[in-house]
Amino acid sequence: MDESDEALAARLAPALALLAAVGETGHVTRAAELLGIPQPTASRRLAALSDLVGAPLVLPSGRGIRLTRAGRTLAAASTRALATVTAAAREVREEIDPGSGRIVLGFLHLLGRTLVPSLIGGFRERNPGVRFSLAQGSRQDMLRALREGEIDLVFVAPLPLDDPDLVSRPLAEQELVLSAPPSHRFAARSRVRAADLAGEELVTLEHGYGLRQITDDLCAAAGFEPRIAFEGQESETVRGLVAAGLGVAVLPRSDQAPTGGVVEIPLSPPLFRTVGVSWPAGERLTPAARSFRDHVCSGRTDLGPAFRRPHPAPRSHDLRETGDHDTRR
């Protein structure tokens, strides 16, 4: 049975650098010196290549050698392939260099306003050569990409505390409030209980987002099924629907004065979500990503007015109510 093209290519690949060097130098000895191998070894490899292909790849030419037509075809392809591999090797070197590597960072949309810029800014002051690729999406999508190695670290809430493949650390607590239009009956209140939301039309994020999970858990703890009017994929869209009078929403307290026809009413008892960083268990992080993780977990960066440092002994559940009430899932 004839050997497949893929199988032949796999057997040819280890010696293609030699063929490319021969095509460049026109001499076995110089090609061997270029690759740092003995000349007899280079000659044996060329002979083995010819046997593998089934046709001579080089012919004598004066004191040197020249490539046959088959040899020129393979050498040209080898040169192109080696250029691609060389560029990739250079990129990998840069990737793992702690001073000039690249970090792929995932985070929830709403964290991109202040938390992520603050953490990256503080790190870049001491590591100006490190580059960041930023990915945003739902909690579900970010954690999937983290598990599959597409991103290095993620900032999420709630934290995936029960996932044995991930390591998580709490970074900050963010108060959750009820966002409502100024005309709503809750707008004049100083506090709103979760039970008061029974029967209200809610605007939420879709399933897979952390805030949706928190909203569903909050309603379940209060003993009712939420009445969902609209589902979105981004918190500012949810806020805009609230401003249009289309419902109320549980959202993080804004780091600025509420605008756009939305009032923020504290929940009773006060409710906070824990925002944290997660990364793969084991030693999968590059040096640059490890350095950034250590910076993030050091607690030295100002997180902004919308965040506070977590409770000294955070509970195992990520959604925490203060006061005399127990933690709610």
Q: What is the pLDDT of residues 207-232, one digit of tens each?
A: 989 899 999 999 999 999 999 999 99
165 and 179 inside one domain: no
Q: Which of 257, 273, 289 lies at the terminal end of a domain, its last residue? A: 273
pLDDT tens by residue, 139-164: 999 999 999 889 999 999 999 988 99
pTM: 0.66
DSSP string, 149-215: TS-SEEEESS--TT-TTEEEEEEEEEEEEEEE-TTSTTTT-S-EEGGGGTT-EEEEEPTTSHHHHHH
At residue 320, the pLDDT reads 40
248 and 295 inside one domain: no
pLDDT tens by residue, 165-178: 999 999 999 999 99
| 50 located within any domain | yes
Do you know the residue count of the chain?
A: 329
At residue 326, the pLDDT reads 31
Q: Find the helix or strand (DSSP H, E) in which 270 lies.
A: strand 263-280
At residue 66, the pLDDT reads 85
- The contacts of residue 164 (CB under 8 Å, 6+ apart) are 281
At residue 322, the pLDDT reads 37
116 and 208 inside one domain: no
Q: What is the mean pLDDT of residues 47-57?
A: 85
User: Residue written as tokens 């009820």?
Assistant: 178
pLDDT tier at 314 (50, 70, 90 boundaries)?
very low
pLDDT tier at 302 (50, 70, 90 boundaries)?
confident
At residue 81, the pLDDT reads 80
| 323 located within any domain | no
> What φ, ψ does residue 225 adopt, rounded to 5°?
-90, 125
256 and 183 inside one domain: yes
Q: What is the mean pLDDT of residues 85-90?
A: 70
269 and 177 inside one domain: yes
pLDDT tier at 97 (50, 70, 90 boundaries)?
low
pLDDT tier at 91 (50, 70, 90 boundaries)?
low
Instruction: Look at residue 196 and tell me whether its pLDDT is greater than 70.
Output: yes
Q: Which of 3-12, 198-207, 242-251 has the lowest mean pLDDT?
A: 3-12
153 and 183 inside one domain: no
Q: Which of 224, 254, 273 lies at the terminal end of a domain, its last residue? A: 273
Report the number of distinct structural domains present in the chain.
3
Bond from prior residue into 158 cis (ω within 30 degrees of 0): yes
pLDDT tens by residue, 238-266: 999 999 999 999 999 887 665 668 999 99
Q: CB of 277 within 8 A of CB of 159?
A: no
Instruction: Look at residue 70 and tell me whether its pLDDT is greater than 90.
Output: no
163 and 283 inside one domain: yes
Q: What is the CATH number of the domain that holds 76?
A: 1.10.10.10
117 and 235 inside one domain: no
C-alpha distance from residue 262 to each of 17, 113, 251 (Å): 65, 18, 11
| 328 located within any domain | no
* Residues spanned by the domain of 56: 5-96
